[in-house]
Amino acid sequence: MRNEKAELKNALPERVAVLEELKKVKFQSAALLFDHDFSVDIGNREVRVKFLGRGNTGGDAVAYLPKEKIVVAGDLVAYPIPNTVDGYPSEWIQTLQDLAQLDADTIVPGHGAILHDKTYIFLLRDLMKSAVDQMNAKLKDSFPAMFQTFDDVKGKVDLTPFRQRFAGTDKDLSAAFDDMAANLVKVVFEEASLR
């Protein structure tokens, strides 16, 4: 059992303020469910909420403002290093392709700087495709994933050709890329294990 008073006492002052504020938050479950998309008019501004497919989670949705050519992508797109702790990489590829088909000039990622073209979306799609294709080739040449462990395959997927494109020469970003790539390979293997 947690001791909230001790936790607050040992927390940094800025964290204390956040923890106190979070105590006031009341959970509100979803009031609207949808399968693929719906539109909302918020006063001369149409917002289309769209489910393009699974990617980072099973329920990824984007907010698309067609008149303004803006898409809020959430964690389908995290910049400059994607969030690959979990997800559906083999489906994420097509979801990113569908995202790129929207007529948008501005992409707001779930994390990171606002993007003003689709270059990064295509880079992210290519990274996912490379990881999935390499894993599938490895499994085809050996045994199905259910008969292997992650340790058997982790060195067989090489995403280092993408490091420069994601991280440039920044050492911290390169380290973050390496961690992300290791996570991605693990998630790709776990997904293959379910087939």
**Cβ(92)–Cβ(70) under 8 Å?**
no
What pLDDT digit, counting tens, does each position of 146-157 carry? 777 777 778 889
**Cβ(102)–Cβ(64) under 8 Å?**
yes
Pick from 133-137, 138-142, 164-168: least confident: 138-142
Residue 149 lies in a domain: yes
What pLDDT digit, counting tens, does each position of 63-115 carry? 999 999 999 999 999 999 999 999 999 999 999 999 999 999 999 999 999 99
The number of angstroms, rounded, from the C-alpha of 99 to the middle of its chain's C-alpha atoms is 13
Q: For the chain, how many structural domains are there in total?
A: 1
Residue 55 lies in a domain: yes
Close Cβ partners of 177 (under 8 Å, ≥ 6 residues apart): 81, 162, 163, 166, 167
Kindly report the CATH number assigned to the domain that includes residue 180. 3.60.15.10
Residue 11 lies in a domain: no
| pLDDT mean over 50-69 | 94
- Quick one: what percent of the chain has pLDDT higher than 90? 62
Residue 140 lies in a domain: yes
Pick from 36-50, 98-112, 174-188: least confident: 36-50
- Quick one: what percent of the chain has pLDDT higher than 70? 92
Which pTM does this prediction carry?
0.82
Residue 12 lies in a domain: no
Higher pLDDT: 22 or 115? It is 115
Domain of residue 68: give its range: 37-193
Residue 68 lies in a domain: yes
Give dist(CA 75, CA 67) in Å, integer: 23
Give me the phi and psi of 3, to 5 degrees please.
-105, 95
Residue 21 lies in a domain: no
Structure tokens at 88: 């559906």
Query: 113-116 long-range CB contacts below 8 Å, 24 or more apart?
Result: 113/79, 113/80, 115/77, 115/79
Close Cβ partners of 107 (under 8 Å, ≥ 6 residues apart): 70, 71, 73, 77, 114, 115, 116, 118, 120, 121
Residue 33 pLDDT level (bands cut at 50, 70, 90) = confident
Residue 8 lies in a domain: no
In the predicted model, is pLDDT for residue 1 greater than 50?
no
Give dist(CA 185, CA 155) in Å, integer: 9
Count CB neighbours of 172 within 10 A: 8
